[in-house]
Each structure stands twice: as structure tokens, then as C-alpha cells.
Chains A and B, each alone.
Chain A
Amino acid sequence: MITSDFVAYALRVGVKVPAPLPPSLVKERLVELMKSIAAECDKAGSTLIGHIKCMLDAGEKGFLAVSTIDASGHATVRGELRGGIDELNVIVNALLYGLDRCKVQEIVDSLARKHLSFEGGEMELEDLDEAHSHEPSSAPVLFDGIDHCHEHDDGRHDHC
């Protein structure tokens, strides 16, 4: 189901804060981030939101996985965090139709900066597709001479 207007964007957001954050605040910010990405992509002309999701793995302090599939303002939350969180390592995946990748990147990056900023904190954004595009990738394998993902690309993309 990868058509020419399908786009995938993956981002890692690293945040270090001077004082531990309450789990409820972290959860609230991640939910807002997912909902606002879906809403902004919809507003920008996305024809279909596939899945907007993120995961924060805080090791012994637990994890949170948050996702949404439309711009209705509903997000699903899995997992929980325990104790103060002083470092965030969040993976965001945006999979949708009808926008170009640069537009999705612009939306996701700017909303991540907005929703995951904390006073006195330091933030680092990493485009994971770009990071992985330097690694050797598997060559397409054709079974019976057929590329079953005829409309797939191979995950590579033009940089913005």
C-alpha cells in the first residue's frame, strides 16, 4: 500500500533537563505532540493519516508509547512511567499520504521542538532516515521475478 504519495519520516528527539520531570507532564506532552502532528498534517493537505506514533523508553522507569491515526484529537497511550524523568529519548514515526517528505519533516521537527522543550533543557533532533541512509541496505529481492511492492520505494529519500 505504498503509493507515490506515501511518506514516512522518523525522528529521534533527545532531551536532557536539569531537574526530573513528573511522568504526568511527560505523558501530556507526548500526547499533545502526536495529536498536533496529525492535526497539522491534516491541515497541510494529507489525504490519509496512516499512523503517527512515538515511544519513550526510560529503562527501569518504564516506557510510554503514544499513537494516533487521525486528526480527531484522540491518541492511544500504552505503558507508564515511574519516578522523575531527567532524560528523554523519544522515537517518532510519521506514516501518511498526500504530503511531501520535507513538509512532514518541517511539521514534525517544529512540533517536537515546541512540545518537548522544558525550561533549562537541551534538545537534540536526529533525522533517523538520514542517519540510516549511510548504512548498507539490503538489495530488493524479487520472488518469481516480481517486485511485490511495485510502487514501493526503498526507504531512501531526497533530503530537504
Chain B
Amino acid sequence: MLIVAGFLGSGKTTLVLSAISRIIERTGKKVVIIVNDFGTVGIDGKVMEKYGLKVAEMASGCICCTLGGDLLTTIQDIEDNIKPDLIVIEPTGLADPSAIVDAMQHYPGKPLERIRSAVIIDAARFPSIYKALNRPLTNQVKNADLVLINKIDAVTPDALSMVEAELRTMNADVPMIAVSALNDTNIDEAVDVMVAS
């Protein structure tokens, strides 16, 4: 299982569209995406379906708290009926991915082999988001297995270095890859880390 977290508008959907298509092409894996949109009617899941991805939508709440029970049921249904090789969860931009990992400890089905989380950081808006939401953003990064610094096409190399340095103070040891999901920059490299065993 792969959790793709990140603040609102950080580019999660764009990255999932780009990366998952590559994973399917490259490995032939059967991938199901669970999309949790905050709004009562989801938009991101519908967009992914339009691009041909297999999506289970969970709207009207957040899977790291109020929809936690529904998430476990949804995963069990997917495991029983689709038997995917990989489940990708795109939670709302407000979710704490570590809470989803905690929730999975209560999963009643066959234990999943591995749960990894990738956090997407918007390089262009990092200073303002960090200032407004310091603690939750730090938690997201601290608990991530992979940090993808997105929208590098929108910042200068100096600004990118500053973002990376700040992120390294939160989590020094994980891979950090600078990407542009929009321009397909370094997405192959990100996919390599996502699918690494």
C-alpha cells in the first residue's frame, strides 16, 4: 500500500495520474486508487476515472478520523473483489498519513505486506504553508518514507535549495526527490522509489 499525502493543491492528483500510469505500464501491476476528497461530492476521483484509472471514492469526511472505519471496509472489499497488487490512497490534503497507518493496525483482513507513505510538498507555496500550518506539515514530513518536492518548474534553484534544507531538518534520512508532476520532470525516479521493495 502506498499513501500519497500532501497539502491541498500540492499536486497529489497530477502526480498520481502521472506515476500510476507509469507503474502500470512498467510493471503490469493491478493498481486500485482510493481517493478521499474533503468535499461532499468528490472531484479528484472523478478526474482519475476520466483518465482510465480504477478508483474507489470516499467523500464527505476525512479517512484519518471520521471515515477510518469506512476505509478499512473499503480496503477489505477491494482485496476480496479485485485482489490488486497495489493499493494507492490519496487522502485529503488535510489528512495525517500516520493516522492512516495507525488505522491499518485495525485492519481485519489479511495483513498488507507493506505500507509506505509519500508526501508531496509544493515548493512554490512551502513558505506560506509552513508558516500557517507548521506542526501538521512537520508531522507529515517526519512520518514520510519519501518526500517529493513538487512544482520545481515554479521556483528558482536557490528557493528549491532552501525548501530542501528546511525539509531535511524535519526528516534527514528519507529520499527527497525534486519533481514537476506537471512537466513530468523526475517522475521516473520517483516511481523507482515508490515501487522499490
Q: Which residues in window 33-67 of B have CB below 8 A to A? A: 37-41, 43, 46-47, 50, 60-62, 64-67
Nearest CB in chain B: distance from A110 CB, A: 19
A152 contact set on B, CB distance < 8 A: 62, 65-66, 94
With A and B bound together, what is the CA distance between A35 and B179 in angstroms?
Answer: 25
B67 contact set on A, CB distance < 8 A: 138, 141
Contact of B68 among A6, A49, A141, A154 (CB under 8 A): A141
A2 contact set on B, CB distance < 8 A: 62, 94
Q: Is A93 touching B37 in the complex (CB atoms < 8 A)?
A: yes
B81 within 8 A of A: no
Dominant SS at the B interface? loop
Given A128-B40, A143-B106, do A65 and B132 touch, yes or no (CB 8 Å)?
no
Name B's A-contacting residues (CB within 8 A): 7-9, 37-41, 43, 46-47, 50, 60-62, 64-70, 93-96, 98-99, 102-103, 105-106, 122, 125, 128-129, 132-133, 136-137, 182
Q: Is A149 touching B9 in the complex (CB atoms < 8 A)?
A: no
Q: Is B40 touching A155 in the complex (CB atoms < 8 A)?
A: yes
Q: Which residue of B lies closest to A72 (CB)?
A: B124
Q: Give 28 A-B contacts (CB < 8 Å), ordered by A residue.
A: A2-B62, A8-B38, A48-B133, A49-B9, A51-B9, A55-B43, A55-B46, A63-B46, A63-B47, A67-B9, A69-B9, A69-B125, A78-B47, A79-B47, A91-B41, A95-B38, A128-B40, A129-B40, A131-B40, A137-B61, A138-B66, A143-B103, A143-B105, A148-B98, A149-B96, A152-B62, A154-B61, A154-B66
Q: Is A148 touching B102 in the complex (CB atoms < 8 A)?
A: yes
Nearest CB in chain A: distance from B152 CB, A: 16
Q: Is B61 touching A57 in the complex (CB atoms < 8 A)?
A: no
A4 contact set on B, CB distance < 8 A: none
Contact of B8 among A50, A54, A143 (CB under 8 A): A50
In addition to A63-B47, A143-B102, 11 A-B residue pairs with Cβ atoms within 8 Å of each other are A8-B39, A50-B9, A57-B46, A69-B9, A76-B182, A140-B65, A143-B99, A143-B103, A148-B102, A149-B66, A155-B61
Looking at chain A, what size class is its interface with the partner chain?
A: 35 or more
Q: Is A138 touching B39 in the complex (CB atoms < 8 A)?
A: no
B133 contact set on A, CB distance < 8 A: 1, 3, 48
A138 contact set on B, CB distance < 8 A: 61, 66-67, 69-70
